[in-house]
Amino acid sequence: MPNRVLTPAEIGDVVRTARKAAGLRQYELAGAAGVGLRFLVELERGKPTAQLGKTLEVLRALGCTFDIAPPAEG
């Protein structure tokens, strides 16, 4: 299966789906991840300029994994 890059909207969907599956409200996840509520709302809406560090904290708080691989040498 080829690697693909997620769009900001797809990342937001993953965060929203995982948050709801965990039974968390937005403010609860924001507090657990150490980010502001506004940031989380914008992340779930797919804001393309969301800060990477904060996004990773949200994903970590949800127990999500994020993998990245360098390009294949060729």
Where exactly are the structural domains of the chain? Answer: 8-62
Does residue 48 have a pLDDT over 80? Answer: yes
Better-scored residue on pLDDT, 4 or 73: 73
Going by C-beta distance under 8 Å and a sequence separation of 6 or more, which residues neighbour residue 15? 40, 43, 44, 58, 59, 62, 64
Task: Answer left, alpha or beta for residue 34, where phi above 0 means left and psi between -120 and 50 means alpha.
Answer: left
In which band, very low, low, confident or very high, does the pLDDT at 74 lie, cut at 50, 70 and 90? Answer: low
Pick the CATH number of 8-62 from 3.40.50.1100, 3.30.420.40, 3.40.50.300, 1.10.260.40: 1.10.260.40
Better-scored residue on pLDDT, 40 or 69: 40
CB of 9 closer than 8 Å to CB of 53: no
Helix 52-62 and helix 26-33, axial crossing angle in degrees, nearest 10: 110
Does residue 1 have a pLDDT over 70? Answer: no
Task: Answer left, alpha or beta for residue 23, where phi above 0 means left and psi between -120 and 50 means alpha.
Answer: left
